[in-house]
Amino acid sequence: VDYSPFLGIEKGAVLQEARVFNDPQLDPRRCSQVITKLLYLLNQGETFTKVEATEVFFAVTKLFQSRDMGLRRMVYVIIKELSPSADEVIIVTSSLMKDMTSKTDMYRANAIRVLCRITDGTLLTQIERYLKQAIVDKNPVVASAALVSGIHLLQTNPEIVKRWSNEVQEAVQSRAALVQFHALALLHQIRQNDRLAVNKLVSSLTRGSVRSPLAQCLLIRYTSQVIRESTNDTQTGDRPFYDFLEGCLRHKAEMVIFEAARAITELNGVTSRELTPAITVLQLFLSSSKPVLRFAAVRTLNKVAMSHPTAVTNCNIDMESLISDQNRSIATLAITTLPKTGNESSVDRLMKQITNFMSDIADEFKIVVVDAIRSLCLKFPLKHRSLMNFLSNILREEGGFEYKKAIVDSIVILIRDIPEAKESGLLHLCEFIEDCEFTYLSTQILHFLGIEGPKTSDPSKYIRYIYNRVHLENATVRAGAVSTLAKFGAMVDGLKPRIFVLLRRCLFDNDDEVRDRATLYLNTLGGDGAVVETDEGVKEFLFGSLDVPLVNLENSLKNYDPSEKAFDINTVPKDVKTQPLAEKKATSKKPTGLGAPPPGPPSTVDAYEKLLSSIPEFASFGKLFKSSAPVELTEAETEYAVNVVKHIFDGHVVFQYNCSNTIPEQLLENVTVIVDASEAEEFAEVDSKPLRQLPYDSPGQTFVAFEKPEGVSAVGKFSNMLRFIVKEVDPSTGEAEDDGVEDEYQLEDLELVAADYMLKVGVSNFRNAWESMGVDFEHVDEYGLGPRDSLAEAVNAVINLLGMQPCEGTEVVPPNSRSHTCLLSGVYIGNVKVLVRLQFGLDGPKDVAMKLAVRSEDETVSDAIHEIVASG
Amino acid sequence: NILILDSEGKRVAVKYYSDEWPTNSAKLAFEKSLFGRTLKSNARTEAEITIFDSNIVIYKFVQDLHFFITGGDDENELLLATVLQGLFDAIALRLRNTIDKREALENLDVIFLCIDEVVDQGYAFTYLSSY
């Protein structure tokens, strides 16, 4: 039986009941009950009309006549809930002000809270002196009431609240813990824009004693803020206030310990040494009986693992036991942290635990796990077999679309990045499409099979899977399967006879699209079933990428009028109008175009490759080796913002200039960059691609390509001048004038250095790689680096000079070391794997000596590395 | 936010301190997913914790009542747990340790007062005994 004293409650009836408030002889208990019912209604989401609310409010004000304390408490609560308007408030003001000076503490405290909630500026100035008195009231409840109200009022009447600084300052010294907490919060709010004042506040309190754990937490947060804003010089000893934070790790209250540990992990550029005590404490929390502690600890460690995985390794055992934690959030966090901190030998153990765990969790957690497995596999490619098996097993189980898509995407990435996994991966995908309920995924996979299948050693084994789809699936999938079959036929001549047989059967399909495709392929693949090569041009036509953006093609087709003249695809414009980018939530408040750097197209290797190969002038340059990060060529807040990405090919380099026009009254046309390569003798300019239009707030790209001697890592300096035609624009209409003026704009120089030819590619086990590389092309030499600021600085300088990937955390130099070994790996242009072992030593107070050992697959590369160091 | 729901996920008493759920239907939807998410866990001996939609949720079940405190995902989880405990202790004290739905509804005024005392407009306020 669902009992409730509010069963059948109805707003109208309760409003009627509220009439009892007007009785001359008030029955406090009855009135309290009615107020409770009103609060209940409001709480359940019932709304009062303006009239109803006003009526209730007026009735409630009558209740001030009663001296019953319980009733008065309820009156306070309901006044806050009703949120009376300014003209209504006047009625209760005097009652509340009387309460504010009452002898009864409870009245004073709550009257303050209510008044401050409903007040406006003028009322506030009237009661200000009472509030100031209240802040330093002997009774802590009263003081807290005033302080908390002050915190809220700071939003609306800051000038008034700031006048209370002295009283608040006094309250910070209060012996009552909560008062100190509230006072500290308010004082910080008041002073937060004055960095020096906050600094002083923190300094004095960290030395003194803070009674309340809540206040201590606040202090830790403010201390972190001060640390963040101070120009810290980590080279010369400890961070300011670090000792305070570290001391808090030993506080009685767990809340404080945790706050301090968290604060330490979030310090800017935190070092392993600074992290250690915090992580030790978090590790203890991992085995607590309280889920809240376990959760807090594992969540924090998860974040730390992203930047300092080695620091968290000690916690691995504890985290592994968390995988079977009753609380699924904790288990998932543990599962996603372990791949970052684990090593190769723990992978099998991890996989076993994860397999047991998967059936218990929701889809969205599963996706997180899949992502973690994928990064695990990329980190330890030798384990691909068991990890791939895992993925294919979960693919077969129950799951929603997003989840299965995540798994398929992961398998695809693994196939692409780990050659040894390709065959098994493709087979897993084939098995999946035999039973896949999602058309989108089936077609994606079929398409992917068409690309990768023909390149394998025995493409024929995939044919059966693909052809079965033609029988058994819906039209969309059937059509996709037909295209894939044709692709196999085009790429692998030996399969043509078989493919032709299969395609001929497709001519009898029910669906138009399927029949059309089959017909097309049968007529174009050539040879009528014999084992002949398909003409390159045909291949390009059937399977090549579309040269034009789909959006433009669609628009042109819509505008095409069927007539005698056939549709000419060459009339479709190739440029995509770049859309102004949507604002990202957490980033700067300035709109794009005002000082924000021009983003350009998304900067992944794939995206760059696609972009460059779609430009006919650069299509013949071959495979893109490396694209640098964007380098700014203009200062912040200039009229035109330009950054450059350096694309390295075997015999060419292409500079992609991402340009942005921040002037609404201007439209730039025919934008090019004039490059002076007189300080880069080995380079010869061969081509450039201008940017036709650069309107306000719509970034675009222009390119310049240089030829360079093949296989040589040539370096040089290039000076750049932006040249364009500028036309005035009327910002209100957006129309530009017809005539423009030629103009130029000087950009900064850009440099091509040896590190640009080096790809940062890590290895998981350096020693193994070093051994297997062999000494054939080893080159060892010693160098004196002269006086340096510190060992760490010297190490960083060499790492940046070479542009290689530090392995196994060896880029971190423990402070006060006199020597250090750093392991680097990378891939040099020409696809040459390179490993470097650097041994640094302090020779006297400041001089640094370095021994450089290089092993690679090519002698000239080993020598080149030494060249870089010698000249750098 | 402070939420007290019954064993079927229906509201007993709630207080939201954020504009993130502007309409009542948004609030009800939130309560529904919150309830569904936590139903299967056993939050009776120790307070439990979970995270969803960038909200950290600390919760405790007593008899047929489910108590929840929620906060943003950058909040100190232990601090939230302390607030929950404070609320809980305050209610337990007033209801003389009989905490179930019937008692709560019969003494809803007490519940409302406790909620009013423990958090003032989103600020952990008062009467947390050890602090």
Quick one: pLDDT at residue A500? 82
Each residue's pLDDT tens digit, A353-387 = 788 777 777 777 788 788 888 877 877 878 788 88
Instruction: Identify the CA nearest to A61 among candidates A94, A103, A33.
Output: A94
Confidence of residue A85 (pLDDT cuts 50, 70, 90): confident
* Strand bridging mode B123-124 / A666-679: unpaired
State how far the Cα of A758 lies from the Cα of A746, in Å rounded to an integer.
Answer: 29
- Which residues of chain B does A214 touch, with a Cβ-Cβ cutoff of 8 Å? 79, 82, 124, 131
Of B11, B28, B102, nearest to A43 by CB-CB distance is: B11
Q: A108, A139, A295: which to substitute to probe chain B, counting the most B Cβ within 10 Å?
A: A295
| Average predicted confidence (pLDDT) for chain A | 81
* Strand bridging mode B48-52 / A684-689: unpaired
Give chain B's residues under pLDDT 70.
121-131
Of A5, A151, A289, nearest to B46 by CB-CB distance is: A289
What is the DSSP track for B8-67? TS-EEEEE--STTS-SHHHHHHHHHHHHHHHTTS--SSS-EEEEETTEEEEEEEETTEEE
Contact in structure between A855 and A862 (CB atoms under 8 Å):
yes
Contact in structure between A34 and A14 (CB atoms under 8 Å):
yes
Q: What is the mean pLDDT of residues A199-215?
A: 82
Contact in structure between A325 and A360 (CB atoms under 8 Å):
no
Q: Which of residues 268-287 of A touch B (CB under 8 A)?
A: none
Of B77, B123, B131, nearest to A296 by CB-CB distance is: B77
Quick one: pLDDT at residue A787? 81
Q: What is the mean pLDDT of residues A180-192?
A: 87
State whether residue A288 sits within 8 Å of chain B by CB.
Answer: no
Q: Which of residues 104-163 of A touch B (CB under 8 A)?
A: 113, 117, 141, 144, 148, 151-152
Distance, C-alpha A368 to centroid of its chain: 14
Q: Do B125 and A326 touch (CB under 8 A)?
A: no
Q: Domain containing B101: what range?
A: 2-124
Q: What is the mean pLDDT of residues A278-291?
A: 91
- Which residues of chain B does A217 touch, with a Cβ-Cβ cutoff of 8 Å? 76, 79
Identity of the residue numbered A387: L
Q: What pairs with residue A631 in β-bridges? A: A644
Q: Is the pLDDT of residue A234 over 60?
A: no
Q: Do B109 and A5 touch (CB under 8 A)?
A: no
How close are the terminal C-alpha atoms of chain A, in Å?
Answer: 84
State whether residue A40 sits within 8 Å of chain B by CB.
Answer: yes
Quick one: pLDDT at residue A540? 67
Q: Which tokens sit at A210?
A: 């803070």
Neighbours of A834 (CB within 10 A): 25
Quick one: pLDDT at residue A549? 66
CATH number of the domain within which B41 lies: 3.30.450.60
Residue B129 falls inside a structural domain: no
How distant, in Å, are the alpha carbons of A31, A67, A93, A217, A556 from that of A62?
11, 12, 13, 43, 75
Q: B15, B16, B61, B131: which to substitute to probe chain A, counting the most A Cβ within 10 Å?
A: B131
Helices (H) and strands (E) in chain B, counts: 4, 7
Neighbours of B7 (CB within 10 A): 14
- Which residues of chain A does B112 touch, with a Cβ-Cβ cutoff of 8 Å? 36, 39, 43, 74, 77
State how far the Cα of A708 lies from the Cα of A634, in Å rounded to an integer.
Answer: 26
Q: What is the mean pLDDT of residues A830-834?
A: 81
Residue B130 falls inside a structural domain: no
Contact in structure between B105 and A4 (CB atoms under 8 Å):
yes
* pTM, two decimal places: 0.60
State how far the Cα of B83 lies from the Cα of B130, in Å rounded to an integer.
Answer: 11
Each residue's pLDDT tens digit, A693-733 = 888 878 888 899 888 887 677 888 889 999 998 888 887 77
Alpha helix locations (H) across A7-68? 11-17, 28-43, 50-61
> Which of A318-327, A467-476, A763-772 reaches the highest mean pLDDT?
A318-327
The SS3 call for residue A855 is strand
Residue B131 falls inside a structural domain: no
Contact in structure between A240 and A227 (CB atoms under 8 Å):
yes
H or E stretch at A395: helix A384-396
Instruction: Identify the CA nearest to A394 among candidates A440, A355, A442.
Output: A355
Q: What pairs with residue A832 in β-bridges? A: A828
Q: Do B120 and A73 touch (CB under 8 A)?
A: no
Place of tokens 């009685």: A252
Confidence of residue A563 (pLDDT cuts 50, 70, 90): low
Q: What pairs with residue A183 in β-bridges? A: none
Residue B106 falls inside a structural domain: yes
Q: A137, A292, A302, A361: which to substitute to probe chain B, counting the most B Cβ within 10 Å?
A: A292
Q: What is the 3-state secondary structure (H, E, C) of A642-669?
A: EEEEEEECCCEEEEEEEEEECCCCEEEE
State how far the Cα of B114 lies from the Cα of A392, in Å rounded to an integer.
Answer: 53
| % of chain A beyond a pLDDT of 70 | 90
ipTM above 0.90, yes or no: no
Q: Is the pLDDT of residue A331 over 70?
A: yes
* Strand bridging mode A741-746 / A691-694: unpaired
- Which residues of chain B does A33 touch, with a Cβ-Cβ cutoff of 8 Å? 109
Confidence of residue A583 (pLDDT cuts 50, 70, 90): very low
Quick one: pLDDT at residue A2? 60
DSSP state of A64: G
Query: By CA distance, what is A152's nearest residue in B?
Result: B121
Q: What is the mean pLDDT of residues A760-764?
A: 75
Query: By CA distance, what is A289's nearest residue in B?
Result: B46
Confidence of residue A285 (pLDDT cuts 50, 70, 90): very high
Quick one: pLDDT at residue A262? 92
Strands (E) across A564-665 are located at 626-627, 631-632, 640-648, 652-661
Quick one: pLDDT at residue A600? 41
**Number of domains, chain B:** 1
In degrees, rounded to 5, the angle at the alpha carbon of residue A500 between the alpha carbons of residues A494 and A504 is 170
How distant, in Å, are the alpha carbons of A393, A595, A630, A687, A715 from that of A748?
54, 17, 13, 21, 17
Query: By CA distance, what is B11's nearest residue in A?
Result: A44
State how far the Cα of A260 lies from the Cα of A266, in Å rounded to an integer.
Answer: 10
In degrees, rounded to 5, the angle at the alpha carbon of residue B73 between the alpha carbons of residues B67 and B77 is 55
Of B41, B48, B78, nearest to A296 by CB-CB distance is: B78
Quick one: pLDDT at residue A496? 80
State how far the Cα of A829 lies from the Cα of A840, in Å rounded to an integer.
Answer: 27
Residue B93 falls inside a structural domain: yes
Q: Which tokens sit at A732?
A: 């209100």
Q: What pairs with residue A837 in β-bridges? A: A823, A853
